[in-house]
Amino acid sequence: MEKRLRLAPSPTGLFHIGTARTALFNWLYAKKIGGKFLIRIEDTDFLRSKSEYTKNILEGLKWLGLKWDEEPIKQSDRISIHKSYIKKLLECGAAYRCFATDDEITELREEQKKKGLPPKHDNRHRSLSKEEIETFISQGRTSVIRFKIEENIQITWIDQIKGEIKWQGKDLGGDLVLSRRAKGYEIGDPLYNLAVVIDDNYMNITHVIRGEDHISNTAKQILIYEALDLKLPTFSHTPLILNLEGKKLSKRDCVTSIDEFKDMGYLPEALTNYMAFLGWSPKSADSEILSLDKISKIFDLSDINKAGAKFSWEKLNWINSQYIKKMESTKLSEIIKKYWDDMGWEPPSEEWAIKLTILLRDSMNLLKDAIDQSKPFFLLPPIQKEGKDFLENNDSKAFLKNILDYLDERNTVKLDKEKATEILNEISKMHNIKKGILMKSLRIAFFGCLSGPDLIQSWELLSESKSDLSRIERCLN
Ligand code: GLU
């Protein structure tokens, strides 16, 4: 039988890291078992669902490299089918109309609250007579459809991640609402738990992998599967992503949407690599830097942790830096050039852009770091206090003058690394200056401070952009 997995996002917000990780686990497992990865857009919450969020989710999946295998399904296209199943449940007596008003339900909740009890419906309309129903309808009351959940049953399943899970009927909050309010004998729009069962069945989903916040929904859904005599998929509930304090990762933790990660300069390959290890501890991985393809070969649900996974920026940054280091330099340079373009910075040549990319990439965590790190190659950096002190307290100015004179006498304009090294060696010998001090002086002239990228390579680049001499000259006055 074909193995079929799905992501069923609700388009009520931007593509969230939690949903992305669920997508990734589904995608990886589908690849691992030779199955298909499908998408169903759960857009039946008409007030909160927006087509721009659907677009954002699909674009985010594409950006991450998680391709789906069939045209995505829209839940809202299937409402009449959901309703026909609700009708079936009504007809077989597994569901009934409940006419309790919002006020009556609020009153019940208040009473329960006073007694310190959890919210639970009291199933008051489970056995209404035909006459009672008629009366409610004639009073103009609307009704929802509720699915009967017996108090004394136990729902058990073998979760592929958590192992055996047992849930008691009495802990499911009373009879389950399947549809929104409707007038007369109409059936209102279907709600999540009903629609999921019908659609997973329609899509022939064999494996459901989703966040552990859905565990109690699974218990309810299993009862609906059974009442309709539908084939059950296997269920796997993944641990949630937590912040460093151990609470569910939320907007307060700075970024949570995939777009934001993209804008901050994370590479999709790095983000998926990081997300895969969020809650997954493979026995057989020899490195934490693994492509999706490699991960999919060793991925197994049994290696997913039961406990929540803490999100670490430090680890993500490290993984991102590893991908930046490994990236083909022309490709990386193309990305970095877009940032330069936004800043209005123009590299003197293609070759120069690639050389600067290579020079900077080892110290970059994020693609965006390229802006700050390449800035001193485009704009003259001011001389900072440590630089000024150094120039005053050493014979730096004289040394810098030696360099200028040397270049002037020999009419040296464009330098390469070898030439720059040779010049420094010669000047240090000619004037008996320690090479270290000579280099520090030059560094201050170029960057205004004592830290920065490799000096010789920087000199080569600054000489090509014709700003090395003026940077040295400014220190002499
Ligand atoms: N629409 C649900 C969500 O976004 C899907 C849950 C499921 O996978 O069944 O949480």
What's the CATH number where 32 sits? 3.40.50.620
Pocket probe mutation, ligand 1, options 4, 196, 222, max atoms within 8 Å of Cβ: 196
As a whole number, mean pLDDT of residues 282-309 equals: 92
Q: Are strands 234-238 and 207-211 parallel, antiparallel or unpaired?
A: parallel
pLDDT band per the 50, 70, 90 thresholds, residue 247: confident
> What whole-number distance in Å separates Cα of residue 99 and Cα of residue 135?
10
Q: Is residue 119 part of a domain?
A: yes
Q: Is residue 375 part of a domain?
A: no
196 lines ligand 1 (CB under 6 A): yes
CATH number of domain containing 165: 3.90.800.10
Q: Is the domain of 127 the same as that of 162?
A: yes
Residues whose CB is less than 8 angstroms from the CB of residue 319 and which lie 6 or more positions away in sequence, other chains included: 270, 273, 274, 288, 289
Q: Is residue 304 part of a domain?
A: yes
Residue 246, phi-psi category: left (phi > 0), alpha (psi -120 to 50), beta (remainder): left
223 lines ligand 1 (CB under 6 A): no
- Grouping H, G, I as helix, E, B as strand and the rest as coil, residue 219 is helix
Q: Is residue 377 part of a domain?
A: no
8 lines ligand 1 (CB under 6 A): yes
Write down the pLDDT at residue 35.
Answer: 98
∠ CA 471-473-476, nearest 5°, is: 120
pLDDT band per the 50, 70, 90 thresholds, residue 286: confident
Q: Is residue 102 part of a domain?
A: yes
Pocket probe mutation, ligand 1, options 12, 22, 44, 210, max atoms within 8 Å of Cβ: 210
Of the residues 125, 160, 192, the one at which a domain ends: 192
Q: Is the domain of 87 the same as that of 188?
A: yes
As a whole number, mean pLDDT of residues 241-259 equals: 84
Report the domain count for the chain: 5
What residues are paired with 6 via a beta bridge?
A: 38
Atom of ligand 1 nearest to the CA of 217: 9
> What whole-number distance in Å separates Cα of residue 142 and Cα of residue 390?
82
Q: Is residue 380 part of a domain?
A: no
The DSSP element (H or E) to which 179 belongs, if any, is: strand 176-182
> What's the CA-to-centroid distance between 41 and ligand 1, angstroms?
9
Q: Is residue 379 part of a domain?
A: no
Q: Is the dihedral of CA 237, 242, 247, 253 positive or negative?
A: negative
Residues whose CB is less than 8 angstroms from the CB of residue 152 and which lie 6 or more positions away in sequence, other chains included: 169, 170
Pocket probe mutation, ligand 1, options 16, 29, 40, 42, max atoms within 8 Å of Cβ: 42
As a whole number, mean pLDDT of residues 356-376 equals: 96
361, pLDDT greater than 90? yes
Q: Is the domain of 332 the same as that of 309?
A: no
pLDDT band per the 50, 70, 90 thresholds, residue 175: very high
Q: Is the domain of 231 the same as that of 269?
A: no
Residue 344, phi-psi category: left (phi > 0), alpha (psi -120 to 50), beta (remainder): left
pLDDT band per the 50, 70, 90 thresholds, residue 249: confident
Give the chain's mean pLDDT.
Answer: 95
Which two three-digit tokens encode residue 169? 């009927």
Q: Is residue 53 part of a domain?
A: yes
444 lines ligand 1 (CB under 6 A): no
**Inter-CA distances, 51 with 46, 67, 161, Å:** 11, 20, 33
Q: Is the domain of 331 the same as that of 283?
A: no
Helices (H), 277-384: 292-298, 313-326, 329-343, 350-361, 369-378
Q: Is the domain of 449 the same as that of 434?
A: yes
Q: Is the domain of 347 the same as that of 451?
A: no
Which two three-digit tokens encode residue 84? 């026909």
328, pLDDT greater than 90? yes
List the residue whose alpha carbon is closest to atom 5 of ligand 1. Answer: 8
Write down the pLDDT at residue 285.
Answer: 78
Q: Please name which of 267, 460, 442, 453 lies closest in space to residue 351, comparing C-alpha atoms.
A: 460
Atom of ligand 1 nearest to the CA of 214: 6
Pocket probe mutation, ligand 1, options 15, 214, 248, max atoms within 8 Å of Cβ: 214
Rg (CA), the chain: 32
Task: Give the domain range for residue 348.
Answer: 327-370
Q: Is the domain of 42 the same as that of 14?
A: yes
Q: Is the domain of 46 the same as that of 92?
A: no
Q: Please name which of 180, 178, 203, 149 lies closest in space to residue 38, comparing C-alpha atoms.
A: 203
210 lines ligand 1 (CB under 6 A): yes
22 lines ligand 1 (CB under 6 A): no
Q: Is the domain of 104 the same as that of 58?
A: no
> What whole-number distance in Å separates Cα of residue 439 and Cα of residue 472?
12
5 lines ligand 1 (CB under 6 A): no
Q: Is the domain of 163 the same as that of 203?
A: no
> What whole-number distance in Å separates Cα of residue 148 and Cα of residue 325?
58
Q: Is the domain of 235 the same as that of 270?
A: no
Of the residues 335, 370, 405, the one at which a domain ends: 370
Which two three-digit tokens encode residue 236? 């796997």
